[in-house]
Amino acid sequence: MGGFKRKIAGITAITLFAGALLAGCDSTTDYVPETANIYRIERTCDFTKTTKTGSARTSVESVTDDCDLTETYRELRDQGKERTKTLVGRGKLLVTYKSPADQSQLTGSIPMTGRDDIFYSAKAHDDIAIRVSKSDPSNIRLQ
């Protein structure tokens, strides 16, 4: 075999080996679909509160509060997919689900932000589609 053919064969072997390694590392193959039930939702929202006193004095204050206690959050939630504002918020869904390994009942949390539709639409006791890791059932994500 000539030098050029050996180089091509070597490059091909390395490419095939790397492809096999990457296929084995694909994290999506480790996850299986499951249904989770939301038992609690924690949402925190950041607002800028502006207060005007008189014609020249303005006071600006940053406020962090439970989203469910604020009118701004309720307005954005009720707009659905037609929201025109993005809320700076973060939270997590606390869920129960079954382990794919032994069908035992587990609890976990799924992080979310004000950019996620589920941040506005999720309600306690809703069932949602998740993916659960077969190798580590405590590792979950939204489907």
Q: How far is it, in rounded angstroms, from Cα 88 to Cα 116?
A: 11
Q: How confident is the model at residue 67 (pLDDT cuts 50, 70, 90)?
A: confident
Tell me what the mean pLDDT of segment 39-43 comes to: 95
Lowest pLDDT segment from 5-19, 58-72, 95-109:
5-19
pLDDT higher than 50, residue 12: yes
Q: How far is it, in rounded angstroms, from Cα 74 to Cα 85?
A: 12
97 within 8 A of 35, measured Cβ to Cβ:
yes
DSSP assignment string, 35-49: EEEEEEEEEEEEEEE
Tell me, what's the pLDDT at 74? 79
**Sign of the alpha-carbon torsion through 50, 51, 54, 56:** negative
Q: What does the domain layout of the chain look like in residue ranges?
A: 3-142
